[in-house]
């Protein structure tokens, strides 16, 4: 091949590489357009108009008067509370289950692995209506509320916790624990000084995932909530009447806080490994 | 700790109980509900009368919505597969040191309220919005053409909401591919396109199968996009089930429709996995 051919080929490859990367970035942009719109609308001044789907003018009022709309902040706090409780329960029993599945042999382990996968592969509307059918059949049809929401949230968070912690646990170097034991560390010392710290990033990631799944769930919650209103249910309700701009403030805060946590977590692990 | 004979059972017990009581048993409740006597109500109670006709009624009355759900979810999944593959491929092979950052960006939208993001699509696609205006100026759309309340809006919403579920499994399987295999193909005079079709694509099939399932299943059951971005002509089966449960209180019909949806999805998944499994995976 001639020298010129090589140059052509190389520049062709450079173009091909960057076209793929460019297309990828375009897809990412598509994923971020709605978030940019949410951020923009959090500064929207729509006081003079009933149209909540157009930018009318800049204001900071939505931010300074965040809890203005009736019931919104109560719904947000309720969702945070449910999210924390569901995360706590799901993370603890899910982590125990991950240890059982990776470290222990027991009858029905393969079946358990399948059952754990199923909630992630079932449509929410089916899981939600099944749970409602159970509650109604059990005579709890009139008692739907915080407890039934919590039961549902722990149920769908569990699978995600188990899968996340299991992955971390399976990737663990067993030699480290063996070394601790060889140096006469007791089983509990080995667990708390070696195993747990090594698995912890997985548990933390699972907890984060649980919280965001719980905080954001609408379809299952709506079927099993009774009169209790979570933040997604509040948004659903106002979407039929007219959305207060403060909803966008909450959306923006959620985005920034989660980005902060994820990036902080990333930098922390990078510093530790470096 | 590791030596106790029953430790595994004890550790597994709480999660197994929770999933058993609140995930597995509810399916039986749902099945029972679907066989209720349709004359009952939440107040008077229902009798399980093995009223199989509920299924026939559900099917006959809501055939449109069922079919539409599968159709919208199928189109959305295909668009997701194309967009998701481009993005996952770019991150896995072309992003270099930006890889982690791009991955974080893929999951970041996931942490913002699903409903709030979907509502912002309502604004983007609004009748006097930027996109509709541009399309009208270019005469690609009539003067009173709309995007909202059309299948286009609903499918665009579905694609948007479930794209991360496609990208992550695709990335996971692309990242595992040994780059030397692609090099070997090119050493043997395969063009880049041929190398991709014969090496990279077949090796990434597990990711494609996982991604399409994780996108299709939630999309088929979703009703948020149809409700917020569509009109009554875009109602999906989820809308119907939700309304039957909460507004009409017709538990028998809602149960039958839920069971039907689940059965269709399970059947499709089994056929799909078998097809993809025997032809490409093995």
Chain B neighbors of A27, CB-CB under 8 A: 83-84, 86-87, 163
Interacting residues of B232 by C-beta distance below 8 A, sequence separation 6+:
none
Of B206, B194, B112, the C-alpha closest to B161 is B112
Q: Do the beta carbons of residue A86 and residue A272 sit within 8 Å?
A: no
Q: Does residue A255 fall inside a structural domain?
A: no
- Six-digit token pair at B160? 């948007």
**Best residue of B31, B90, B237, B246 to probe chain A, by most A CBs closer than 10 Å:** B90
**Stretch B232-257: mean pLDDT, rounded?**
88
Q: Do the beta carbons of residue B198 and residue B184 sit within 8 Å?
A: no
Chain B neighbors of A104, CB-CB under 8 A: 2, 7-8, 11-12
**Stretch A114-141: mean pLDDT, rounded?**
89
Domain of residue A161, residue span: 75-243
Q: Do the beta carbons of residue A88 and residue A264 sit within 8 Å?
A: no
Q: Does residue A119 fall inside a structural domain?
A: yes
Q: Do the beta carbons of residue A128 and residue A220 sit within 8 Å?
A: yes
Confidence of residue B182 (pLDDT cuts 50, 70, 90): confident
Query: How far does Cα A32 stand from its chain's mean position?
Result: 17
Q: Do the beta carbons of residue B230 and residue B149 sit within 8 Å?
A: yes
Q: Does residue A162 fall inside a structural domain?
A: yes
- Residue A219, classed as helix, strand or coil, is helix
Q: Does A7 touch chain B (CB under 8 A)?
A: no
**pLDDT at residue A274, as a whole number:** 47
Of A92, A230, A204, A96, the C-alpha closest to A150 is A230
**pLDDT at residue A53, as a whole number:** 65
The DSSP symbol for A211 reads H
Q: How many domains does chain A have?
A: 1
Q: Do the beta carbons of residue B115 and residue A75 sit within 8 Å?
A: no
How far is Cα A247 from Cα A262, in angstroms, rounded to an integer? 23
pTM for the whole thing? 0.87
Specify the range with the lowest mean pLDDT, choosing from A224-233, B133-142, B254-263: B133-142
How far is Cα B28 from Cα B31, in angstroms, rounded to an integer? 5
Burial class (CB in 10 A: 0-12, 13-18, 19+), A109: middle
Do the chains contact at A134 and B29, CB–CB below 8 Å? yes
B57-85 per-residue burial string, b: 16 or more CB within 10 A, e: under 16: bbeeebeebbebbbebbbbbbebbbebbb
Residue A58's DSSP bridge partners are A44
**Stretch A54-69: mean pLDDT, rounded?**
83
Residue of higher predicted confidence among A258 and B42? A258
Q: Which residue has the tokens 């090594």?
A: A198
Helices (H), chain A: 3-41, 61-64, 72-103, 109-117, 124-137, 146-170, 174-182, 187-190, 196-216, 219-224, 231-241, 246-273
Of B213, B248, B222, the C-alpha closest to B65 is B222
Residues 18-77 of chain B with CB under 8 A from chain A are: 18-20, 22-27, 29-30, 32-33, 42
**pLDDT at residue A134, as a whole number:** 92
Is 70 exceeded by the pLDDT of residue B153?
Answer: yes
Do the chains contact at B25 and A118, CB–CB below 8 Å? no
The DSSP symbol for A226 reads T
Q: Does residue A179 fall inside a structural domain?
A: yes
Q: Which of A20, A104, A129 sits opposite B30 (nearest CB)?
A: A129
Q: Does residue A42 fall inside a structural domain?
A: no
**Stretch B214-235: mean pLDDT, rounded?**
91
Residue B36's DSSP bridge partners are B48
Chain A neighbors of B86, CB-CB under 8 A: 20, 23-24, 27
- Residue B259, classed as helix, strand or coil, is helix
Chain A neighbors of B217, CB-CB under 8 A: 121-123
The DSSP symbol for B113 reads -
**Stretch A10-36: mean pLDDT, rounded?**
84
How far is Cα A252 from Cα A230, in angstroms, rounded to an integer? 18
Specify the range with the lowest mean pLDDT, choosing from A135-144, B57-66, B233-242, B269-278: B269-278
Interacting residues of B99 by C-beta distance below 8 A, sequence separation 6+:
B91, B92
**pLDDT at residue B1, as a whole number:** 46
Q: Does A130 touch chain B (CB under 8 A)?
A: yes
Most confident option among A90-99, A261-270, B120-129, B146-155 = A90-99
Of A232, A238, A237, A248, the C-alpha closest to A59 is A248
Q: Does residue A270 fall inside a structural domain?
A: no
Specify the range with the lowest mean pLDDT, choosing from A28-42, B8-22, B188-202: B188-202
- Tens of pLDDT along A219-246? 999 999 988 999 999 999 998 888 888 8
The DSSP symbol for A217 reads -
Q: Does residue A10 fall inside a structural domain?
A: no
Q: Which residue has the tokens 């899981």?
A: A127
Q: Does residue A274 fall inside a structural domain?
A: no
Q: What is the ipTM of this complex?
A: 0.85
Q: Does A174 touch chain B (CB under 8 A)?
A: no
Among chain B residues, the shortest Cα distance to A254 is held by B112
Q: Does A192 touch chain B (CB under 8 A)?
A: no
Q: For position A104, which CATH number holds? A: 1.10.3720.10
- Tens of pLDDT along B55-80? 888 888 888 999 999 999 999 999 99
**Stretch B94-109: mean pLDDT, rounded?**
83
Chain A neighbors of B192, CB-CB under 8 A: 13, 16
């Amino acid at each position: 091949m001639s020298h010129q051919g090589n140059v052509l080929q190389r520049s062709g490859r450079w173009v091909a590489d960057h076209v793929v990367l460019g297309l990828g970035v375009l897809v990412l942009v598509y994923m971020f357009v709605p978030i940019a719109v949410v951020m923009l609308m959090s500064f929207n001044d729509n006081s003079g108009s009933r149209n909540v789907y157009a930018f009318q003018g800049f204001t900071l009022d939505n931010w300074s008067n965040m809890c203005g709309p009736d019931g919104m902040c109560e719904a947000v706090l309720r969702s945070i509370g449910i999210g924390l409780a569901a995360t706590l329960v799901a993370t603890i029993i899910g982590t125990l289950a991950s240890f059982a599945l990776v470290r222990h042999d027991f009858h029905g382990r393969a079946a358990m692995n399948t059952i754990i996968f199923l909630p992630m592969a079932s449509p929410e509307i089916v899981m939600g209506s099944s749970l409602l059918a159970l509650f109604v059949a059990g005579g709890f049809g009139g008692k739907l509320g915080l407890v039934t929401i919590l039961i549902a949230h722990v149920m769908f968070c569990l699978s995600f916790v188990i899968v996340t912690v299991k992955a971390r646990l399976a990737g663990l170097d067993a030699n480290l624990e063996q070394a601790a034991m060889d140096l006469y560390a007791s089983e509990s010392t080995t667990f708390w000084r070696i195993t747990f710290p090594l698995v912890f990033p997985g548990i933390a990631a699972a907890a984060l995932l649980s919280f965001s799944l719980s905080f954001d769930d609408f379809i299952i919650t709506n079927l099993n909530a009774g009169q209790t209103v979570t933040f997604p249910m509040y948004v659903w309700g106002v979407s039929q009447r007219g959305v207060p701009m403060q909803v966008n403030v909450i959306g923006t805060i959620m985005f920034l806080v989660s980005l902060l946590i994820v990036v902080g977590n990333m930098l922390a692990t990078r510093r530790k490994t470096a | 700790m590791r030596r106790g004979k029953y430790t595994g059972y004890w550790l597994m017990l709480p999660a197994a109980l929770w999933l058993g009581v609140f995930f597995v048993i509810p399916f039986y409740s749902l099945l029972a509900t679907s066989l209720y006597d349709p004359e009952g109500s939440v107040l008077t109670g229902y009798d399980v009368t093995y009223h199989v006709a509920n299924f026939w009624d559900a099917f006959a009355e809501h055939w449109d919505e069922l079919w539409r759900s599968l159709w919208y979810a199928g189109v959305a999944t295909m668009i997701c597969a194309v967009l998701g593959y481009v993005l996952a491929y770019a991150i896995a092979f072309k992003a270099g040191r930006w890889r982690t950052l791009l991955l974080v960006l893929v999951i970041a939208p996931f942490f913002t309220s699903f409903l709030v993001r979907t509502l912002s699509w309502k604004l983007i696609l609004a009748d006097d919005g930027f996109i509709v205006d541009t399309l009208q100026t270019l005469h690609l759309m009539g003067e009173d053409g709309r995007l909202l309340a059309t299948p286009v809006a609903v499918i665009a919403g579905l694609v948007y909401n479930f794209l991360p579920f496609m990208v992550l499994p695709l990335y996971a399987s692309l990242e595992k591919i040994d780059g030397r295999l692609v090099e070997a193909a090119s050493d043997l005079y395969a063009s880049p396109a041929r190398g991709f079709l014969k090496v990279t694509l077949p090796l990434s099939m597990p990711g494609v199968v996982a991604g399409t399932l994780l996108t299709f299943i939630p999309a088929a059951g979703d009703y948020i996009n149809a409700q917020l971005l569509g009109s009554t002509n875009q109602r999906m089966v989820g809308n119907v089930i939700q309304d039957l449960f909460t507004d009409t209180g017709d538990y028998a019909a809602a149960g039958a429709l839920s069971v039907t949806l689940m059965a269709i999805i399970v059947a499709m998944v089994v056929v799909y996995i078998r097809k993809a499994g025997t032809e490409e995976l093995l």
